[in-house]
Amino acid sequence: ACGPIDSPCRSLGHALNVSRTLDRWLIAPGNFSGPDNRMRFAGRLVQLISQEGPGSVVLDCQGIPGFGVVFADEEGPDAVLDGFEIVNCRSQSEDSVVGRAEVPAGHGAGILVGGDASPTIKNCRIRFCQAEITGAGLLVLSGFPTLSNTVFERNAAVFGAGAGMLIGSRAHFRSCTFVQNVASLEGGALFISQASVAGFFSSFTQNSAGNAGGAITLVEGNLQLESCLVTGNIAGALSADVYLLGKADDFQSRNTTFADNVVTTHEQDVDMGLEGALRQQFSDGLDFGGGN
């Protein structure tokens, strides 16, 4: 078995594959890439912890389609991802089955939570990920994650660039940050459809959407924000802060600040934000359909 200092695991995937229930792995600093470093927990209740804290362990998907991290096999809260930076992940162009989750083409890139999984994700950074449809940073399909102190930054999608919450999912975000995520249509930071989200002490700043919901779009479901900050977001047509399609009581907020969110009739203002995000993230000139 691997693990001791004199016999390290050859990859992050290898560490998971040899794990036993409730194993706790401290991952030394480094940049990890390639298929063997994609992490699928596969039902294992294992803790993967960055030894030196946030940003010291980087999983770089290098723009190759497929999820960086997968919880899709009924993992519980004892399945923990702590202190990782996940970058440059891209959605797949075809439908796929990942564990117990059926993932439509173009959905998700950085982290997948599905198959009734309820993992714990904390102290992570999810940046520069791209989905052709929704959930570039985080995609939740019939999953129930708890996230804390996690940053979603400069991700890009058509809907829900930071995170896409779909199909009976439920998530808690505590002290999380969504910043400069860009959706070409709706939900710069979050897109919620038939799902429930509770946000506590979290910030949604400088996100943008080409049409509506510069910060958040809620199509069906429930959104609760408590002691949050929603500022400096931009939308091209409707609701630069929260765009609500459904009943008014689907959205509740308490002690939450909404300020300096702007609906602009100048399409170029939002398109430039999208193009800028793509320019910084991707070098292949991929067109999301949001700018000219």
Give the integer Cα–Cα distance in Å for 124 and 131. Answer: 19
Mean of the pLDDT values across residues 147-155?
98
What is the SS3 assignment for 95? coil
Mean of the pLDDT values across residues 199-212?
97
What is the SS3 assignment for 193? strand
pLDDT at 169 over 80: yes
Structure tokens at 235: 């939308």
- In this prediction, residue 55 has a pLDDT band, given cuts at 50, 70 and 90, of confident
Which tens digits make up the pLDDT trace of 79-94?
A: 999 999 999 999 999 9
Dihedral sign, CA of 133, 139, 144, 149? negative
- In this prediction, residue 265 has a pLDDT band, given cuts at 50, 70 and 90, of low
* Amino acid (one-letter) located at 139: L
Task: Evaluate whether 149 touches 176 at the Cβ level (below 8 Å).
Answer: yes
Q: What pLDDT is attached to residue 249?
A: 86
Task: Evaluate whether 17 touches 46 at the Cβ level (below 8 Å).
Answer: no
Mean of the pLDDT values across residues 49-67?
94
For tokens 């004892």, name the residue. 78
What's the mean pLDDT when you consider all of the chain? 89
What H or E segment, with its residue span, contains residue 141?
A: strand 138-141
Structure tokens at 219: 């199509």
